[in-house]
Every structure is written in structure tokens, then in C-alpha cells.
Chain A
């Protein structure tokens, strides 16, 4: 009893280092697939048109807006989300710094900021304030005014 005239697509991908397969409508975004099919609700929807960064994930080593990626495009790729940042040994230094520097208030944009900031520090170990602000410009925050977020990323870069 569904309006769908198209068949679901089989996607085989790796999420947070773990191989996964799922069926998904071809028109479903990677964001919706992560939240509704795979059940990882850490990645958030803020605008669904690539303008706020709350849905940022790491796709094959590049940070992207998962709302503007079609789920079938994840075939054979590596997707890393907020749920993959901490390890059994504990929080990622960025997560720890966000806590200690009070770099979040409501927290809805925090997953996007953390995955984006990790994308920066993974290939630029010691970025200056301007570089951090430029890299994070694709992530909107309405509560903090970005100040403590920038300081937290600087602190994590030194950790």
C-alpha cells in the first residue's frame, strides 16, 4: 500500500568502520538513510538543502552535507558519523574540548561541528583562528556565537 513506483536499492557500505547493507528508496538522502534505516540519529536535519551543516558526515575522508548525498551514492564508500568519533578508550579530544570549553548550548549543531572540525584537524594539525572559521563556515550555530567553538577546536588541535 505505498505510492512508490520504484524498487528499493541495495546499498553495501561501511559506516563507522563497520560493513553494512541495507535497502533504501533511490530518492532517499544519505541523511534519512542514516536516521530512519540504519537507526543512527546522531546526524541531524537543520534545513535539508545544504545550507546549515547540521547533517555533516565524513564521506571517504571529505566532510559533506549528507542531506545532499543520495543514499545509493554511499555504495562502496566509507561513511563516518558522530557515533564513530568516540572509541572504547574514550572521547575524541574534540569531543572532550567541546565539553570543557562549553562550546555547545542546545547541542543540535554539535555533531555537525565535531565531524567537520575532525575533518580539518585530520589534515591540518595546527590551523589558525581564521582557517578554523573558514573551514567551519558551512556549519551554522545560533546559540554560541561560534566564539567558544573556535577556542575548543584550537584547544583540541594542541591536545
Chain B
């Protein structure tokens, strides 16, 4: 492995400075469970690794009436071991509690998962369906980017030279909101999704009609896919808004999601299998989301 320096800044500015100096030759790590594997695999070479776990803003966790905000370096276990977050954001917890194994979840976090921008990422879909926003700081100030716009290509994001994701904030889910994430893997653990679907629904007060919904797909395209949305565009046609909660409407959403997937053949699955799974997983996650939404009415 090409020898690199290890830097552990204690402030966002410190991190931004180092990242600015080295550009492509430096990367931040929180858990490091993706970066170190890619480095050893020879995917790229680095001159410096920036350990961001000593920066307070990236380790903060805030869950209040406005919603949930957690630092980019917060590890998965810190989310699913928090009773409040687990109760109010089950869709996100579904993903956080199945990335890798316990050892991985002690180190890896949803911030890193997002920045790694793998097509098969488990953590990005749920953030999309919860309308989460990434808070970024760089050499020329801070900005916010919606998670559905964050990934641009396999392993590539909107981040510019010297920019760093500081935290991810999730708006407080209103009453009648429910979300769920499910993936298909041949084993029961320690696996990469053959296909993954996150769904969220906003029911009306009766709980029988969809007011809004979001369906996000993983492992079936170069980036996570929000059905009915083109990244960067303003338009979004909601697959379920206005429809009544029924077997048929859910089945239709399954077909729609299947249509928006553009999977490839690889060692983990064939195109046909992935399309089939997107349909099955969309139906199952919407069903669970509806259950959770009705419970929250």
C-alpha cells in the first residue's frame, strides 16, 4: 500500500485545510471500513488520511422537535442503540442495523456510507425517503445538498476539492408518516445487497389514502434511484400520492419501481433477478411503511 500520512484534525477548518492541500490524494475517514479496503485493493493511492472522529461537529447527535441531526462520523450502533431515534426513524434504523456485521457497525456510519456513494449502499435509500439533507463545509463556506442529489456516479459525489460532509439532518416525520427498508442478500448477514428498496408513505388522517410517498432503489443503477425523480431536476411525480392504500396500488408501485431500475449482470445477480426483486421488495417495504404509519396516527 502506498505509504500515506495520518492526520487527525480537531476542527472542521483543520480538516478542510488538509483536504484542500491534497485534493484527490487525501480522503477523510470515520470508520474507514470502505476506504482502507479500497486502498489495499489498489483502487487509488493516497498521500494523507484525515481521521475526522476528533471533530465535535462530526460526532454530534441531536434528536428534537425539529428532527434528527447526526454528525458524518457517527457510527451505526450509536443510532440503533438510541431508543428515541430507533422509535422515531425505524426506516433508517433498518439499514443502520444490517450494514456488514456488529464489528463493522461499531465503526462505520451513514455519513461514510453516503460519501462512498456505492450503487449498492444500504444507508442512502432510507435517507432519501426521509428527505434527509447533507450539510457540507468547504474552503468557500457551507452548503446543503439533498441526499437524492448527492451521488453523481458509482463512487462519485457532488463534493468539490476540500469539501467535507459535516452532518446529515432529517426533518421530523409528521403524523401518519411511515418508512421501511429491505434488501435481498443470499446470506443473512455480512453481504452486499443484490437489490434494496426503501419506501416511505404519508397517509391522510384516515390512514387509507396515500398523501405522499417515496421509493428509493439500491443496487439497480449507477447511483441510488428515487423513483419518479431526475437528480438535479425540480419535478417529482409521486408514485402513490392520492391513491388509496390497497393491494393493487401497492402492486402498481411495485411494477413502477421495477420499471425505473436499470440493473446490470454481475456476480451478485442477474438483470432479471434484480428487476424481479425490486418489484417484490417495493411491495413488502410499502406494506411495512403503511403498518408503521398507521401505528403513528
Do the beta carbons of A48 and B40 come within 8 Å of each other?
Answer: yes
One of B6, B32, B53 near A26 (C-beta < 8 A): B6
B196 to chain A, nearest CB (A): 18
Asked whether B36 is an interface residue with its Cβ less than 8 Å from the other chain, the reply is: yes
Distance, CA A117 to CA B36, complexed state (A): 25
One of A25, A62, A70 near B51 (C-beta < 8 A): A70
A25: which B residues are within 8 A, CB to CB? Answer: 3
Asked whether A13 is an interface residue with its Cβ less than 8 Å from the other chain, the reply is: no
**Count, chain A residues at interface, CB 8 A:** 34
Do the beta carbons of B40 and A137 come within 8 Å of each other?
Answer: no
Distance, CA A53 to CA B40, complexed state (A): 17
Distance, CA A138 to CA B53, complexed state (A): 23
Asked whether B295 is an interface residue with its Cβ less than 8 Å from the other chain, the reply is: no
Do the beta carbons of B104 and A138 come within 8 Å of each other?
Answer: yes
One of B1, B8, B33, B102 near A119 (C-beta < 8 A): B102
Q: For window 40-64 of chain A, which residues contact chain B by CB distance below 8 Å?
A: 48-51, 53, 56, 59, 62-64
With A137-B189, A137-B190 known to touch, is A70 a contact of B3 (CB < 8 Å)? no
Do the beta carbons of B3 and A3 come within 8 Å of each other?
Answer: yes
Do the beta carbons of B101 and A68 come within 8 Å of each other?
Answer: no
One of A27, A62, A69, A72 near B3 (C-beta < 8 A): A27
Do the beta carbons of B36 and A116 come within 8 Å of each other?
Answer: no
Asked whether A135 is an interface residue with its Cβ less than 8 Å from the other chain, the reply is: yes
With A64-B103, A68-B32, A70-B36 known to touch, is A51 a contact of B190 (CB < 8 Å)? yes
B187 to chain A, nearest CB (A): 8
Interface string of B102-113 (1 = CB under 8 A from A): 111011000000
B87: which A residues are within 8 A, CB to CB? Answer: none
A59: which B residues are within 8 A, CB to CB? Answer: 106
Asked whether A9 is an interface residue with its Cβ less than 8 Å from the other chain, the reply is: yes
B77: which A residues are within 8 A, CB to CB? Answer: 62
Asked whether B125 is an interface residue with its Cβ less than 8 Å from the other chain, the reply is: no
Do the beta carbons of A27 and B1 come within 8 Å of each other?
Answer: yes
Do the beta carbons of B3 and A6 come within 8 Å of each other?
Answer: yes
Do the beta carbons of A138 and B36 come within 8 Å of each other?
Answer: no
Asked whether A73 is an interface residue with its Cβ less than 8 Å from the other chain, the reply is: yes
Distance, CA A59 to CA B6, complexed state (A): 19
Interface string of A2-23 (1 = CB under 8 A from B): 0111100100000000000000
Q: For window 153-204 of chain B, which residues contact chain A by CB distance below 8 Å?
A: 188-190
Distance, CA A69 to CA B1, complexed state (A): 15
Distance, CA A51 to CA B34, complexed state (A): 12
Asked whether B49 is an interface residue with its Cβ less than 8 Å from the other chain, the reply is: yes
B4: which A residues are within 8 A, CB to CB? Answer: 6, 26-27
Do the beta carbons of A68 and B36 come within 8 Å of each other?
Answer: yes
A50: which B residues are within 8 A, CB to CB? Answer: 33, 37, 100, 103-104
Query: Told that A68-B33, A70-B32 touch, could you supply 8 new A-B pairs with CB distance under 8 A?
Result: A6-B3, A49-B41, A51-B190, A59-B106, A62-B77, A63-B103, A64-B103, A134-B102
Which residues of B come within 8 Å of A, CB atoms?
Answer: 1, 3-6, 8, 29, 31-33, 36-37, 40-41, 49, 51, 53, 77, 100-104, 106-107, 188-190
